[in-house]
Amino acid sequence: MAAENTETAEVVQSPGPSAVDISPDKDGGILKEIIKEGTGFETPVQGSRVFVHYVGTLTDGTKFDSSRDRGKPFDFNLGKGSVIKAWDIGVATMRKGEVAVLTCKPEYAYGKAGSPPTIPPDATLIFEIEVIEWTGEDLSQKKDGGIIRYQITKGDGYSTPNEGAVVEVRLVGKHGNRVFEERELSFPLGEGSEFGICEGLERAIEKFKKGEKSRIELKSKYAFKAEGKAELAIPPNADIEYEVELKNFEKAKESWSLDSAEKIEQAKFFKEKGTNYFKNEKYALALKMYKKVISFLEFGSGFEGDLDAERKALLLVGHLNLALCHLKLLEHVEARDQCDKALKLDPSSEKGLFRRGQANLGLGEPEKAKVDFEAVCKMDPNNKAAANQIILCNKKIKEQKGREKKIYANMFEKFAQRDREVGTPMETAEVN
């Protein structure tokens, strides 16, 4: 009896002839049949807040869930993985007002485990869905509709920048139809105000993935508020919008999800930043960036093969550049320490030796410096700079000797003078 019932029910619940396979792998996992065409051509973009009514049934016809019974449309953010896969994929294909039936295989629903108590294991689910409307994604902490995102290009990966992370963005700001700014910059999240980035925009960027491009609508309280911004001709209490692309960003070093390749990538990101600052003679900032390079590479574990070679090369460059920055800032002790670290990794690093020579010179140790420069010349006899430095060292050594001679000469002269006044030096020494 029971078997018969199921059979008849299954006939009723099988997808109609016009059903289309919309699963990305075309494995028949999600079949969609349009019951009523929607209006317009637009479908909701990733992240949209979508409002739907739906009725869910099992293949035997049992209704297991219905938003209509709860008396309120169901709403969710599309493409965020908050709902079963079939929904994230299926609803993204629907237009406003459209009614469609999705037949979802367990792999796109609750799988082998099912979802007790309602969904049995390995169940195919049938949903009749009506898309009522959608809005942008509300990114404001207070959910007050003040920061709304409309995604244009989906980003890669899964992470978003933390507070304090350096982000690299391209942005176009609009007030009405007027573009008031268009620029590319990088800044640490949380310090946006120093760079003319308003609070709301920072908030929004925190939710971006790498490579993502979106339109952000800001209410004035999240933008330039009651003051407006005269330089950009933004009047008081003006709502504005930005088109923002997150080109790259720094990841938290302590993040558990970073594997070796990503750590290398992060180190390179900061190396580049450091070099830019260095070229612009911002040595203190460059220093900060190179320190971050080191921090991502410090721990040996997790690197292997090519990555390990790359890690070592980067680490060497990091220490060498740190040394150079310290030299520019006249911090010779630090510079020497960094050279020591570099030379520990590669004892024959010409740059390492040369920079340590410079640091030693700066510390007033021309003899030590000379040893370093001579080592450079030995490796590369054509290195004119090093040869010049040796000449400089010799000069310094000579000067130093001369000065010492003078000091000691005077000293002996003084002692002799005093001895003559006081008596024998032996006696004085004993008395004192």
Nearer to other proteins, 178 or 253 (CB): 253
Of 74, 110, 270, 278, which one is the catalytic site residue? Answer: 110
- HSE-up of 407 (CA within 13 Å, CB side)? 6
Closer of 62 and 348 to other proteins (Cβ): 62
Interacting residue ranges for other proteins, rule: CB under 8 A: 54, 56, 64-65, 67-68, 70-74, 76, 80-85, 87, 110-113, 115, 117-119, 140-146, 157-159, 163, 190, 199, 221, 252, 254-257, 259, 301-305
Length of the chain: 432
Task: Spot the catalytic one: 30, 84, 264, 294.
Answer: 84
**DSSP-derived 3-state class of residue 295:** helix
Strand 166-175 and strand 178-188: pairing? antiparallel
Active-site entry in 21, 51, 64, 122: 64
Q: Least distance to other proteins from the beta carbon of 146, Å?
A: 7
Q: Catalytic residue among 74, 108, 127, 296, which?
A: 127
Distance from C-alpha of 49 to C-alpha of 134, rounded to nearest angstrom:
5
127 is catalytic: yes
Comparison of 160 and 349: residue with beta carbon closer to other proteins: 160
Q: Kindly tell me which of 126 and 325 has the beta carbon lying closer to other proteins.
A: 126
d(CA 230, CA 263): 42
Q: Which two tokens stand for residue 406?
A: 């003078």
Residues in Cβ contact with 126 at an 8 Å cutoff, skipping those fewer than 6 apart:
13, 56, 57, 58, 59, 101, 102, 103, 104
Q: Is 419 among the residues known to form the active site?
A: no
Burial class, 358, CB count within 10 angstroms (exposed 0-12 / middle 13-18 / buried 19+):
buried
Residue 41 vs 256, nearer CB to other proteins: 256
List the one residue out of 225, 218, 226, 231 whose CA is nearest residue 175: 218
Kindly state the smallest distance separating residue 58's Cβ from other proteins, in Å. Answer: 10
Q: Active-site residue among 21, 51, 60, 65?
A: 65
Report the nearest approach of other proteins to the CB of residue 203 (Å).
9
Smallest distance, other proteins to C-beta of residue 163, A: 5
Q: Among residues 181, 60, 204, 51, which one has the least CA distance to residue 124? A: 60
65 is catalytic: yes
Active site residue ranges = 54, 64-65, 84, 110, 127
